[in-house]
Amino acid sequence: MDMNEFIKKINEDITTVFTPERALNFWQVVVTLLIAFALGLIITRTYSKTHKGTTYSQSFCHTMIIMTMVVAIVMMIIGQNIARAFSLVGALSIIRFRTAVKDARDTGFVFFAMAAGMACGTGFYMTGVTMAVVICLLILLLDKLDYGAKPTIDKLLLIRIPNHISYQEHFAGHFIKFLSHYALTSVEIVQQGVMTELTYNIRFKRNKSEQEFISGLRELNDNNKITLIFRDQRVDI
């Protein structure tokens, strides 16, 4: 083979590799990733804006964005090939996740991100964008309306008393004066058996001062530790 034939062969190979079809596939991957990234930003922005409690994690937001893009690429790789689908399921089945999801709401956002990635990966870009925008607006509306919250008036009361005090009837008179309802929920021995910690579920009567209630308790429990916890369904304790 002379030099001219060799150069011609190289040109044919280059032309075969960089066909319009392959170039279209490349740009399709780029567009899919960019749209998936944008949808991931919208989803995580909604998540961070509406999150309540102390379990917020920045890495979880990053993970959702990455998941949206990865799922999109996985769907493009699978396409309509059943064999690829089963091989990917087998490959992904060896992955074990050690981080437990602490909030059921986080699980919903994980599926939300996966659905957006699947829409992008299958080419349904408008479906993915519409789904993300509409669902995010509805989530913001639920957060604005505080939907599902139930007004709570019960509180938790933790009292530490010396072991020589008989707690069964010791606080009854004070509780009847200030509380419309009280129930002992747990008894725990603390400080190496020197103290007893009592946990009550309580509900105050109308127009009764919480400060006066706690001041009276301090006289009854020898001025030991007293904790009054106000419950809020939007915050994890």
Least confident window among 75-84, 108-117, 120-129: 75-84
End-to-end CA distance of the chain: 79
Closest CA to 68 of 34, 25, 17: 34
pLDDT at 37: 96
d(CA 166, CA 163): 8
Predicted confidence band at 70 (pLDDT cuts at 50, 70, 90)? very high
Convert 64-90 to b/e letters by CB count within 10 Å (16 or more is b): bbebbbbbbbbbbebeeeeeeeeeeee
User: What are the C-alpha distances in Å from 132 to residues 21, 38, 114, 138?
Assistant: 30, 10, 11, 10
pLDDT tens digits, residue range 180-219?
Answer: 888 888 888 888 878 889 899 888 888 888 888 888 888 8
pTM of whole model > 0.85?
A: no
Average pLDDT over every residue of 78-100: 63
Q: How far apart are CA 10 and CA 30, in angstroms?
A: 28
Neighbours of 146 (CB within 10 A): 10
Quick: pLDDT tens for 132-188: 999 999 999 999 988 877 666 678 889 988 887 887 788 888 888 888 888 888 888
pLDDT-derived band at 90, boundaries 50, 70, 90: low
